[in-house]
Amino acid sequence: MRLKSNIWVAAYLRRCQTEGVFGAVRRRGAEEAGAVFVKVSLLDGNAMLYVPAPQTVYDDGRPVDRFFVPVAPQPLPEHTIEERLTKELRFDPDAWIVETEDRAGRHFLELAKT
């Protein structure tokens, strides 16, 4: 059983805080199992967006973990990220949006191995 989204988000924000990275919940989703999208603002007009990894990347030995994939290999203009998030919310109104700010682009997420 996977950790509830609200608990995962609280732990993630705590991790960011301990590393000196500002983070906040921009949109609360479903408490139990809402998908979590993480935007990392680079504070220069660009950002990275990390979305939930497809179920096919999950290992049977670690079914409770949350893995993410970047939507692009390089930072994108923030307005492009915002357009993508708007589309995601239209598709999944139960989704969470978490935003952090870090010039170095640190995300502290477990990325899926492709």
Where does the pLDDT of residue 54 fall: very low under 50, low under 70, confident under 90, or very high at 90 and above? confident
Q: What is the pLDDT of residues 33-53, one digit of tens each?
A: 889 999 999 999 999 999 998
Q: Is the pLDDT of residue 14 over 70?
A: yes
- Which residues, 6 or more positions from 98, have their beta carbon under 8 angstroms from its beta carbon? 9, 12, 13, 23, 24, 25, 26, 36, 37, 38, 39
All structural domains of the chain, each given as residue ranges with its CATH number in brackets, are 5-101 (3.40.1530.20)
pLDDT given for residue 2 in this prediction: 72
Q: Is the pLDDT of residue 32 over 60?
A: yes
Cα–Cα distance measured from residue 67 to residue 112, given in angstroms and rounded to the nearest whole number:
5
Mean pLDDT for 57-80 is: 81
Average pLDDT, the chain: 91
Where does the pLDDT of residue 57 fall: very low under 50, low under 70, confident under 90, or very high at 90 and above? low
Where does the pLDDT of residue 65 fall: very low under 50, low under 70, confident under 90, or very high at 90 and above? confident
